[in-house]
Chains A and B, each alone.
Chain A
Amino acid sequence: GAGVSQTPSNKVTEKGKYVELRCDPISGHTALYWYRQSLGQGPEFLIYFQGTGAADDSGLPNDRFFAVRPEGSVSTLKIQRTERGDSAVYLCASSRDISNTGELFFGEGSRLTVL
């Protein structure tokens, strides 16, 4: 597609529920990133994929968060047992390859609200 696509754009869930957020990167981009942006803050790094493997997941806050990219394209961020503190905009970004580590193309984000 023309840009990074994220679905859903908005998700409201109840505390304790499971949530999946999907990201479809720009075609041909091998690097994919997830960031989280809380209200009044800048984006915070969560995880980075180069191809199918998670090259760096050091930003995931705890083991309730998990992400996959099984075929090296679409990625899913999975959040188990959601908590109110998980409410944020989850941003996905992609880049052509590992050499463009800062030149990211962002999607519009998935706004998660945990009640």
Chain B
Amino acid sequence: AQSVSQHNHHVILSEAASLELGCNYSYGGTVNLFWYVQYPGQHLQLLLKYFSGDPLVKGIKGFEAEFIKSKFSFNLRKPSVQWSDTAEYFCAVNGAGSYQLTFGKGTKLSVIP
């Protein structure tokens, strides 16, 4: 069975600090990888995705993530966070051809102005 591990439960940063949120997954085959974000009071929305090709993927709002197959990792990064990035971030994975997304427990990011 596939699983997703997010290392940090709550991260607190000052504005302009750099961000890296860890995500490791466990799955034996080809995977699709995702980061979803939930801003306060809003629904979950897709931030970025990796299906194949360039392992460095760019998403909305200046976020990027790098797929490192050998480490089973898909860490999320942003060079300089803003207060508006305060949200909960979920890493998710599904096996190629699978309908089921497996989510991590989420990381809450608080950005202090």
Residues of A within 8 A of B (CB): 3-4, 31, 33, 35, 40-45, 48, 55-56, 58-59, 91, 93, 98, 101-109
> What residue in chain B is nearest A48 (Cβ atoms)?
B99
Q: Which of B34, B36, B43, B49 contacts A3 (CB 8 A)?
A: B43
A-B contact pairs, 9 of them (CB 8 A): A42-B90, A43-B101, A45-B100, A59-B100, A91-B44, A93-B44, A101-B97, A103-B49, A105-B45
In the complex, the answer to whether A42 meets B104 with C-beta atoms within 8 Å is: yes
Known A102-B32, A102-B34, A102-B92: A56·B44 in contact at CB below 8 Å? no
In the complex, the answer to whether A44 meets B103 with C-beta atoms within 8 Å is: yes
Q: Report the minimal beta-carbon distance from A95 to chain B, rounded to whole angstroms.
A: 9
CA distance A106 to B34 in the complex (A): 14
Question: In this complex, which of A40, A98, A101, A106 has the most chain B Cβ atoms within 10 angstroms of its Cβ?
Answer: A101
Q: Does B42 contact A (CB under 8 A)?
A: yes
The A interface, classified by DSSP as helix, strand, loop or mixed, is: loop
CA distance A53 to B97 in the complex (A): 18
Known A45-B102, A48-B100: A102·B49 in contact at CB below 8 Å? yes
Give the 5 A-B CB pairs with smallest separation, nearest first. A42-B103, A106-B44, A45-B100, A48-B99, A108-B43
Known A42-B4, A42-B92: A104·B101 in contact at CB below 8 Å? yes
Size class of the contact patch on chain B: 20 to 34
Known A45-B100, A91-B44, A108-B43: A101·B105 in contact at CB below 8 Å? no
Q: Does B70 contact A (CB under 8 A)?
A: no
In the complex, the answer to whether B46 meets A42 with C-beta atoms within 8 Å is: no
Instruction: List B residues 1-29 near A (Cβ within 8 Å).
Output: 4
Q: Report the minimal beta-carbon distance from A74 to chain B, rounded to whole angstroms.
A: 18
In the complex, the answer to whether A101 meets B99 with C-beta atoms within 8 Å is: yes
Q: Does B110 contact A (CB under 8 A)?
A: no
Q: Report the minimal beta-carbon distance from B76 to chain A, rounded to whole angstroms.
A: 14
What 0/1 readout, one digit per residue, does chain B (50-82) give for beta carbons within 8 Å of chain A?
000000000000000000000000000000000
In the complex, the answer to whether B103 meets A43 with C-beta atoms within 8 Å is: yes
CA distance A90 to B94 in the complex (A): 20
CA distance A41 to B88 in the complex (A): 11
